[in-house]
Amino acid sequence: MSEITVDGVEEIGYHSSEDALLTGKEVCELLRIKQSYLYWLTSSSKIPHIKLHGHLRFRKSAIEEWIRSQEREVHIVSKETCNSEGHDKMDD
C-alpha cells in the first residue's frame, strides 16, 4: 500500500508527503551532509528524529522546519549607524 511521490520519498497508506518518514540516507542527500555528521546531530539531539526498532527515521515536515530554524538573519549596518554607535570606521 505504499507509493512513491514526486520527491522519490516513499509514503505509507494515507499519510501526506508532509508526514512522510525519510531515511538517514534521504536526509543526508537533502542536506548534502555525510552520514557520520547526521549521526552526530541525532546523538546530540540537534535534529528531530524518530527511532523505530533501532532504525532512524525523520519526519519530512520536522526536517523542513528544522532547516528553517537554522537560517540566520543578516543585519546590514550602514556606515552612519556604525560610526554613531562608536564602532571602528568602515572602509569605503
User: 26-51: per-residue pLDDT in tens?
Assistant: 999 999 999 999 999 999 999 999 99
CA atoms within 13 A on the CB side of 68: 6
pLDDT in tens, 38-85: 999 999 999 999 999 999 999 999 999 999 999 887 777 776 665 665
Sheet holding 50-52, edge to edge: 21-22, 55-59, 50-52
Please, which residues bridge with residue 52 across strands? 55
Give the pTM.
0.62
3-state SS, residue 81:
helix
Please, which residues bridge with residue 2 across strands? 12
- Which residue segments constitute the domains of the chain, with CATH numbers given? 2-84 (1.10.10)
